[in-house]
């Protein structure tokens, strides 16, 4: 495949950040995007709604279907998948991007926050995959791509925030298992993770503010890397835990300065790398 023209992508958490960047990159090819997210009203600290994202996707050249979806609710997922199939005739790609984060220790993590992270990250990824797989089986080059890290089972990645690590690694375990489970169906299942921290609203609000943002790359690096993965033949590229920079180097990208939020600033490595 050379592009995503006419392909239908179901992207969770696509109203902002990395999810929206992936959507906009696909939209430039003329792809159809299901924006599966919760945000319908503007939030003071989290810019963007499913409707403003839809406008941007349409302007970029794609077709957008904004759907109000809390991925902890399988009925809402099923309704969005049904609407996607009714509107566009099928689903070619699922991007499990939605995620919740709390970098807190065991005593500092309320069970409500624990449940939120596991409900969105691990359970939501599993539920969305389950709902989309019957349609992916009918697609010509089907992909599932999870925004989750390599399975690095070192204590240093668990000790400071064991609940969050468990939830993100749950997404990665979906990759490990489903890639093999769905291999004979020709459905690729891969993970994408950034080498550096990415400048998103979550980073701005929860992980250090302006000082952290200085050392970030923009979401476009993840979008370009995701695009490179999603345009590969699904039967030939599956079960991989990809790092954005490595993916792009593999397709000939040499200029990474364009992705820096602040040119020349020292880049901050992301977790799990």
- Residue of 44, 135, 47 lying closest to 87 (CA atoms): 135
Q: Tens digit of pLDDT for each residue in 102-150? A: 999 999 999 999 999 999 999 999 999 999 999 999 999 999 999 999 9
Query: Can you say whether the dihedral through the CA atoms of 167, 243, 2, 178 is positive or negative?
Result: negative
- Please report, for residues 66, 91, 97, 138, the alpha-carbon distance to residue 180 in angstroms, rounded to integers and kept in the order given: 31, 20, 21, 18
Q: Tens digit of pLDDT for each residue in 149-195? A: 999 999 999 999 999 999 999 999 999 999 999 999 999 999 999 99
Domain boundaries, the chain: 8-259
User: Is 1's pLDDT higher than 70?
Assistant: no
Q: Which residue has the higher pLDDT, 205 or 117?
A: 117
Q: Tens digit of pLDDT for each residue in 235-273? A: 999 999 999 999 999 999 999 999 999 999 999 999 998
How many angstroms separate the CA atoms of 80 and 9, rounded? 12
Q: Tens digit of pLDDT for each residue in 42-84? A: 777 777 899 999 999 999 999 999 999 999 999 999 999 999 9
How many angstroms separate the CA atoms of 80 and 74, rounded? 10
Q: What global pTM score does this model have? A: 0.96
64, 33 Cβ separation under 8 angstroms = yes
Give me the pLDDT at residue 252, please: 97
What is the DSSP annotation of 155-221?
GGGTTT-HHHHHHHHHHHHHHHHHHHHTGGGT-EEEEEE-SB-B--HHHHHHS-HHHHHHTPBPTHH
204, 214 Cβ separation under 8 angstroms = no
Residues annotated catalytic, as ranges:
164
Strand order of the β-sheet with 93-96 is 63-68, 32-37, 8-12, 93-96, 143-147, 188-193, 241-243
Q: What is the mean pLDDT of residues 8-18?
A: 96
Give me the pLDDT at residue 208, please: 65
The mean predicted confidence, pLDDT, of the chain is 95
């Amino acid at each position: 495949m050379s592009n995503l023209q006419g392909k239908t992508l179901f992207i969770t958490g696509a109203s902002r950040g990395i999810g929206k960047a992936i959507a906009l990159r696909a939209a430039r090819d003329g792809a159809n995007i299901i924006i599966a997210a919760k945000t319908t009203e503007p939030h003071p600290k989290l810019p963007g709604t499913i409707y403003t994202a839809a406008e941007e996707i349409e302007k970029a050249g794609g077709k957008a279907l904004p759907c109000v979806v809390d991925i902890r609710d399988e009925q809402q997922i099923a309704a969005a998948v049904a609407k996607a199939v009714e509107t566009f005739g099928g689903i070619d790609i699922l991007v499990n991007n939605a995620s919740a984060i709390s970098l807190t220790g065991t005593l500092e993590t309320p069970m409500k926050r624990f449940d939120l992270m596991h409900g969105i990250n691990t359970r939501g990824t599993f539920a969305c995959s389950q709902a989309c797989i019957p349609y992916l089986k009918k697609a010509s080059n089907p992909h599932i791509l999870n925004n989750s890290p390599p399975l690095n089972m070192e204590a240093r990645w668990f000790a400071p925030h064991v609940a969050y690590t468990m939830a993100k690694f749950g997404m990665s375990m979906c990759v490990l298992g489903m890639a093999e489970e769905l291999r004979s169906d020709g459905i690729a299942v891969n993970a994408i993770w950034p080498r550096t921290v990415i400048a998103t609203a979550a980073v701005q609000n929860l992980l250090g503010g302006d000082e952290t943002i200085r050392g970030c790359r923009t979401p476009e690096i993840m979008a370009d890397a995701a695009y490179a993965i999603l345009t590969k033949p699904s039967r030939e590229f599956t079960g991989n835990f990809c790092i954005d920079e490595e993916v792009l180097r593999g397709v000939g990208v040499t200029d990474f300065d364009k992705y820096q939020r602040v040119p020349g600033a020292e880049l901050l490595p992301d977790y799990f790398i």
